[in-house]
């Protein structure tokens, strides 16, 4: 097993509150690369959260690493039996669960994209997108589609960022980015702010 030294993303957020956009994107690039590698192998992590990301320090510098694949699920292939595809148990950390995960749907890569979006929101704003103090509050806010506005010091950037999170944290998974690459690309565009008219 690889020996890793460095803080978790949760520890960093507790210390700093929020991160400047370039720093947040740098970390997210590493997380996205790990999630894409898992999805290529048909693996859904099912519990992406700051506690499960370590910012490993080594000779090559800092490398974000995704940990704890204990709840990961191998997606079925076309030949899988009905028994092998039974994936409806509700597992994960409620504050990082997509609506369809929270209601017991079958494992889906969209669950990991939701977790990525929640972590991105936290890194940039210093807040969790869902309001409330307990699982019942978060569940109600999640299923009702209520979330905090994404605010940054620059008003124009906040507007484009909030529009991005309206898509990334939409109640319907079809409205969200469909891959980690699409999610990080949309976030970069949002952080670049609105385009000047031609």
In the 8-state DSSP scheme, what is residue 85?
A: G
148 within some domain: yes
79 within some domain: no
Name the more confident of 119 and 94.
119
162 within some domain: yes
Distance, in Å, from the CA atom of 106 to the CA atom of 82, rounded to the nearest integer, reads 12
26 within some domain: yes
Res. 87 pLDDT band, cuts 50 70 90: very low
Instruction: Write the DSSP string, 110-145.
Output: HHHHHHHHHHHHHHHHSS-SS--SSHHHHHHHHHHT
pLDDT (average), residues 98-126: 90
Distance, in Å, from the CA atom of 56 to the CA atom of 63, rounded to the nearest integer, reads 5
pLDDT at 86: 47
Residues 6 or more apart whose Cβ sits within 8 Å of residue 108: 44, 98, 100, 101, 173
Residue 3 has pLDDT above 50, yes or no: yes
Residue 126 tokens, joined = 């210093």
82 within some domain: no
Residues of the chain above pLDDT 70, percent: 79
Task: Print the domain residue range for 14.
Answer: 9-74+89-191
pLDDT at 80: 47
CATH number of residue 148's parent domain: 1.10.510.10
User: Quick check: 112 and 44 in contact, CB under 8 A?
Assistant: yes
Q: What is the number of other CB atoms lying within 10 angstroms of the CB of residue 153? A: 6
68 within some domain: yes
Asked about 47 being catalytic, the answer comes back as yes
106 within some domain: yes
Name the more confident of 103 and 14.
14
36 within some domain: yes
Q: Considering its fold, how many domains does the chain have in total?
A: 1
Look-up of token digits 């299923």: 143
Name the more confident of 61 and 84.
61
Q: Of 127, 108, 105, which is closest to residue 118 (Cα–Cα)?
A: 127
């Amino acid at each position: 097993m690889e020996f890793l030294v460095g803080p978790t993303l949760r520890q960093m957020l507790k210390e700093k509150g929020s991160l400047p956009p370039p720093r947040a994107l740098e970390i997210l690039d590493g997380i996205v690369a790990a999630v894409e590698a898992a999805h290529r192998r048909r693996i859904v992590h099912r519990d992406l959260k700051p506690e499960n990301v370590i910012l490993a320090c080594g000779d090559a510098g800092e490398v974000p690493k995704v940990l704890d694949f204990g709840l990961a699920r191998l997606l079925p292939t076309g030949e899988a039996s009905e028994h092998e595809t039974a994936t409806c148990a509700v597992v994960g950390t409620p504050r990082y669960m997509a609506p369809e995960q929270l209601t017991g749907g079958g494992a889906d890569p969209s669950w990991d994209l939701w977790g990525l979006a929640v972590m991105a929101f936290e890194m940039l704003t210093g807040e969790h997108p869902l309001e409330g103090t307990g699982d019942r509050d978060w569940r109600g806010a999640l299923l009702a589609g209520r979330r905090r506005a994404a605010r940054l010091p620059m008003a124009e950037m906040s507007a484009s960022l909030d529009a991005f999170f309206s898509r990334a944290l939409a109640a319907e998974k079809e409205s969200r980015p469909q891959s980690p690459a699409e999610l990080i690309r949309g976030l970069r565009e949002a952080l670049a702010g609105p385009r000047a008219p031609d």
